[in-house]
Amino acid sequence: MKTFHNPEHTRHVGQHEMFRGKLVACHEVPARLDHVLAELQRRPLGPLLTPDLTSAPASTALDAALARVHSADYLAFLAGAWAEWVAMDPANAHQDALPSVWPLPHRHGFRTDRLPSNFAARLGAYSFDSGSPLTAGTWVAARAGAACALAATQAVLAGERSAFALTRPPGHHAGPDFFGGYCFINNAAVAAQALRDGGVSRVAVLDVDYHHGNGTQTIFYERADVLTVSLHGDPATEYPFFLGHADERGAGAGEGCNLNLPLPRGTGLATWRAALDSALQAVADFGAQALVVPLGLDTFAGDPISGFTLHSADYLGIGAALAGAGLPTVFTFEGGYAVDEVGVNAVNVLQGFQHAAAP
């Protein structure tokens, strides 16, 4: 299995996130990726590669891939956000940008069709939480991460059974024109769309992160060519709260092409695996020809911001179950905040997949 890892990920290092009225140390840290990379070096599954970030053709292809899943105004905002933040006050160069005001476009007549020129207002308009610090290197890191997702997808389109995009910041909470949940560019959506553009007629995204993939759902919610499936903590009690309910089935042409499997806090392996079986059956019923797996490892019992009770050994079987779908598969690295264990857990999934997929 080829792994494409992000050489720019350390450019994104948040100082703090807002959590229930307090500024706390960020859970999403560079060590997350470093532990996975170290484990892949200890237990090699295939070559460790970095995507091309310098050539003009690669850069043009990456920009085109980003534009297929995110709005032009949102991408322009991210690209220029740090410069605008510092322009507001030179002292801002020493602190992260966190939003503090938001419109409510579906309630009380708040307008988003005419965005203010004030940067702080637009920062809020493009975000849905105050826990995702935007830093000097966020855009560079997120863009390079999308390059990993695109390179992994191109490898699968070229005939690889699977490939892994090892990158941070993660992506599955980022929507067409919003960031949040530590996510700025939706790497899984980039992969799914690139599979479609590469000639795959029907693509499934199966999100196994503890937190609902609200951004991915939003991007594909009205489409019939991409099935989105997510098993996650029940949004009645778990972040991101405002999407992820079982009655969200898609809309318009996408009616029936979204499946949410919310599970209660405290869920253990047996119940979680039953939900995974239901998810994989939905993928088979859809007739998917390729699979994207947003690989969140925050289902682990020791995760500090989640609530399921899976253990490290369980992830080997999860990887094998995913391989049982029999589909070319792109993995994108998402959550997992028990930092010391995230490397073992991630590589267990990939190893379980690779062993089960071997001829």
Residue 127 is given by DSSP the state: B
Whether the Cβ atoms of residue 190 and residue 146 lie closer than 8 Å to each other: yes
CA 27 vs CA 21, 33, 230, 337: distances in Å? 16, 12, 22, 6
Q: Is 92 helix (H, G, I), strand (E, B) or coil?
A: helix
> Does residue 232 carry a catalytic annotation?
no
Q: Is 99 helix (H, G, I), strand (E, B) or coil?
A: coil
The structure tokens listed for 81 are: 């956000």
- Ranges of beta strands (E only) in the chain are 2-5, 16-19, 22-25, 48-49, 162-166, 203-207, 226-233, 258-263, 290-295, 329-333
What CA–CA distance (Å, rounded) separates 38 from 25?
24
Whether the Cβ atoms of residue 170 and residue 217 lie closer than 8 Å to each other: no
At position 155, the amino acid (one-letter code) is: A
The closest alpha carbon to 301, from 288, 315, 321, 287, belongs to 315
Whether the Cβ atoms of residue 354 and residue 45 lie closer than 8 Å to each other: yes
Torsion (CA) 116, 118, 121, 124 in degrees, nearest 10: 110
Sheet holding 203-207, edge to edge: 48-49, 2-5, 162-166, 329-333, 290-295, 203-207, 226-233, 258-263
Q: Which of 9, 173, 211, 212 is catalytic?
A: 173
| Catalytically annotated residues | 173
